[in-house]
Structure 1
């Protein structure tokens, strides 16, 4: 597993800000994450295997603690809330949940029409922000864009994958009940609607986009 080149920064990211019913506690942080993960699973883009729980310490200048928690069955349930709470650093009573990040595999389709599996094809993050929960979906591979990282166009790959991602993002929007907002742009891409924006015409030379492979880790 792992045939694709992965950018160290996102190629595209999408955000949703959800108002929880109550306090932005662990259950509230996981609620939109569960809805988004279920949508991605339906589209074959995320088969959830584990989550990272990051605990921050408001006082004392201590660095964040990261705990990886398995997700049996690939579904976020009430038991996962308890499992995450049990990873709270026992020596820090003021530790609070900073974010939860997903890990798992997803399916993409290559230029010959063959389905392939890749780790962390789509990554979800959920975190409390004041009285809201911020949910992010991010992608780090070039299969969602019209051009590969090398700058070579790959229309068969794009046509087989980009519509699946767009449909999933619209499904998340419907599931969480709030509009989709674009995440930050990076040197590897920027968002346009539910997809990746094409390069500017002036950046295309002899049918090729800029070569970004030298920036890959």
Structure 2
């Protein structure tokens, strides 16, 4: 399953030498960590980086900010967007805090198949006044666990993926000169220096953590993208649902759905599609609000959407007629796994 919040994280702290840590050196470190992931298909060209520099004395003062920097096979090639941002940061004087974040698309494997997530890992790097470099690696997949985040054993998935994560952690540790400090156990899993603890030994922290928390996390993120309104269908249902697949340029972004038995309708983002799934979902939710204002019941609203789709960047409905699935939970699982 792909999650909206990290399944686990690992941190390395590297004190500065006498010369301090300049932004250009930090950028090289970030790219070197990214390369450790790309070697194992845990990251890929097309990753997006952001660079932020804030004044050390007043963190709200932004000195430099760049977003959406696309990483190529050679991210620091002369003239590349990331190289230019790092060079601009390197020209700054005084005490400041540098933050670099790279969201990494990558692949996880299942028997006979491989799947791409647009944010499989994130690399987060900070430099505080040139004196301390902190690197944190986060993952948003449970492919490295002996049991998935719905508490089902997955020995073949684990065997295909966990060694890749272990090798990446070992490679990053060799690069940075120290082992990682695993993050604390969270709602999903307990990180270890080589990956994750086996949840079969003591049991998971929460039963069905994905089913318990992911829907709430998604709903919170989606509602943050649209204005508040009373024109809303219910967000949950115990009835079967009918749905359409939302696609753009051949990629599934999510599923717009309606209950067959009550006043519920909504949008389930395909988490593996990353930020695009949520951005598109905001458009479909606004369309559902319009249907609600017109007094349409959920199934009628779903039919209305076939004739009143949002703008093209929100995607289009794939099917000619709605499909039916046994429950909203089953549809949400599809959106978290496919």
**TM value normalised by structure 2:** 0.54
Q: CA deviation at 1:119?
A: 1.2
Structure 2: segments with no counterpart, 5+ residues: 218-338
Structure 1: segments with no counterpart, 5+ residues: none
Q: Which has the higher helix share?
A: 2
In structure 2, how many angstroms separate the alpha carbons of the residues matched to 1:34 and 1:20?
A: 18
Q: CA deviation at 1:108?
A: 0.9
CA contact (8 A) 1:106 1:121 kept: yes
Post-superposition CA distance 1:45-103 (Å, at most 9, x none) = 11142211133244567376753142342433264343245489xxx997934310102
Give the paired residue count.
205
Q: Is structure 2 residue 58 aligned with structure 1 residue 56?
A: no
Structure 1 residues 82 and 17, CA gap change in structure 2 (3 angstroms): same
Task: Tell me the equivalent position of 1:173.
Answer: 173
Post-superposition CA distance 1:153-188 (Å, at most 9, x none) = 111111111111101111111122222221233222
CA contact (8 A) 1:55 1:95 kept: no
Runs of 4+ aligned residues of structure 1 deviating over 6 Å after TM superposition are 92-95
Q: CA deviation at 1:142?
A: 1.0
Task: Tell me the equivalent position of 1:5.
Answer: 2
- SS of the aligned residue for 1:77 comes to coil
Task: Tell me the equivalent position of 1:98.
Answer: 98
CA contact (8 A) 1:69 1:83 kept: no
Structure 1 residues 74 and 125, CA gap change in structure 2 (3 angstroms): farther
Structure 1 residues 12 and 118, CA gap change in structure 2 (3 angstroms): same
Structure 1 residues 195 and 60, CA gap change in structure 2 (3 angstroms): closer
Q: CA deviation at 1:34?
A: 1.7
Task: Tell me the equivalent position of 2:270.
Answer: none
Deviates more, 1:51-60 or 1:142-151: 51-60
1:57-76 equivalences in 2 (<5 Å): 57-58=55-56, 62=60, 67-76=66-75
In structure 1, how many angstroms separate the alpha carbons of the residues matched to 2:58 and 2:38?
A: 40
Question: Which protein is bigger by CA-based radius of gyration?
Answer: 2
1:123-138 equivalences in 2 (<5 Å): 123-129=122-128, 131-138=131-138
- Determine which of 26, 31, 36 is the counterpart of 2:28: 31
Structure with higher RCO (Cα < 8 A, 6+ apart): 1
**TM value normalised by structure 1:** 0.80
In structure 1, how many angstroms separate the alpha carbons of the residues matched to 2:76 and 2:15?
A: 20
Structure 1 residues 187 and 30, CA gap change in structure 2 (3 angstroms): same
CA contact (8 A) 2:147 2:200 kept: no
CA contact (8 A) 2:99 2:124 kept: yes
In structure 2, how many angstroms separate the alpha carbons of the residues matched to 1:200 and 1:156?
A: 15
CA contact (8 A) 2:189 2:197 kept: yes
